[in-house]
Structure 1
Amino acid sequence: MAVPKKRTSKSKKNIRKNAWKTKVEKQAIRSLSLAKYLLKTKPEDPAVEKLLNRLNDETSSQKPIAEGEGNDKPSDAN
């Protein structure tokens, strides 16, 4: 029969969470800098150029959400 393990302490949980956040932050910075580089320079690789064109088409086809739209809650809270 399965026995529950001991509870992980807050400090150990926070250490693990912080390590994960650090890894994620590094990857996000790398991805952002690569995206900035690709947008500023002309890509020589046709696959990258095709990807950038597709991303530009997707962002231009999305309509921005107007103020007040998408709010499911009624404005009158009475």
Structure 2
Amino acid sequence: MAVPKKKTSKSKRDSRKAVWKRKAAVHAQRAISLGKSILSGKNDGFVYPLAEEAETEE
């Protein structure tokens, strides 16, 4: 016979939500940092074709 599940406590719910939000904040910060480094030209870990190189290859 089906038995109702126990209610999750507010602290456990809030803890899970905080972990999810912390992960999202870390990824957002990394994306902003990568974008800034690409714009400044100081990027080392991200490779992308430059506009001049793309035009000369065609």
Q: Residue 12 of structure 2 aligns to which amino acid in structure 1? A: K
Aligned equivalents of 1:31 and 1:42: distance in 2?
Answer: 15
Quote the sequence identity (%): 50
Q: Residue 11 of structure 1 aligns to which amino acid in structure 2? A: S
Q: How does 1:1-78 map to 2 (within 5 A)?
A: 2-41=2-41, 45-46=48-49, 49=50
Aligned equivalents of 1:8 and 1:31: distance in 2?
Answer: 34
Per-residue deviation at 1:2?
4.9
Which structure dedicates a bigger proportion of its chain to helix?
2
TM-score using structure 1 length: 0.49
Aligned equivalents of 2:35 and 2:14: distance in 1?
Answer: 31
TM-score using structure 2 length: 0.63
Aligned equivalents of 1:39 and 1:2: distance in 2?
Answer: 58
Tell me: higher relative CO, structure 1 or 2? Use CA pairs within 8 A at least 6 residues apart: 2
Per-residue deviation at 1:39?
1.4
Aligned equivalents of 2:26 and 2:48: distance in 1?
Answer: 25
Root-mean-square deviation (Å): 2.5
Q: Residue 28 of structure 2 aligns to which amino acid in structure 1? A: A
